[in-house]
Amino acid sequence: MLKEFREFALRGNVLDMAIGIIIGAGFGKIITSFVNDILMPPVGLLLGRVNFSSLFINLSGRDYAALEEAKAAGAPIISYGVFLNTVLDFIIVAFAIFLVVRQINRLRRQPEAAPAPTTKECPYCLSTIALGAVRCPHCTSELRAA
């Protein structure tokens, strides 16, 4: 049983999948930082100094100045700003994966072989004739067997 497990674990596709998951987790952290720290601040500035991560809807009826204050009070809230950041993270990761898969598929495609010719030119009248013809139907010249 231990031998079977080792063969399973060392199979190429299992190792590839594990490496992909580890790299994907690191890539996700990079994208999250990119969205939160680089992309959203200028977008928030363009939209009137809005900090998306602090946008929320208070469901308790009390007034809270900040998201952290509402969370500390235990108020029921909908943090739609955090949700917007997460959606943007997902869109960027999905687009990056799309680009990678598209490139891999482009590299995997083999050029299609040209089909074998079925016609040839008559050397006398330059008309297109069948490949196996021994006499040209246009000029009636005898053709040499190829």
| Domain co-membership, 36 together with 105 | yes
Quick one: 101 exposed, middle or buried, by C-beta within 10 A (0-12, 13-18, 19+)?
exposed
d(CA 63, CA 73): 11
* Pair 105, 122 in one domain: no
Domain enclosing residue 140, as ranges: 115-146
pLDDT at residue 2, rounded to an integer: 79
Whether 121 and 100 map to the same domain: the answer is no
Exposure on the CB side of residue 57, measured as CA atoms within 13 A = 4
Q: Could you give the count of Cα atoms lying within 13 Å of 25 in the half-sphere of its Cβ?
A: 5
Based on the domain organization, do 53 and 90 belong to the same domain? yes
pTM score, two decimals?
0.52
| pLDDT value of residue 128 | 92
3-state DSSP assignment of residue 37: helix
Tally the C-alpha atoms within 13 A of residue 138's C-alpha that lie toward its C-beta.
Answer: 10
Cβ contact 128:119 at 8 Å: yes
Per-position pLDDT tens, the chain of length 146: 778 777 766 666 777 777 788 888 888 888 888 887 888 788 778 877 777 778 888 888 888 888 888 888 888 988 888 888 888 888 887 888 788 888 888 887 777 778 888 899 998 899 999 988 888 998 988 887 65
Number of domains in the chain: 2
Q: Which tokens in the block code for residue 70?
A: 């509402």
Q: Do both 51 and 88 map to the same domain?
A: yes
The predicted structure's pLDDT at residue 98: 85
Name the nearest CA neighbour of 136 among 25, 23, 125.
125
Report which DSSP code applies to 11: S
3 state DSSP class of 89:
helix
Same domain, 103 and 122: no
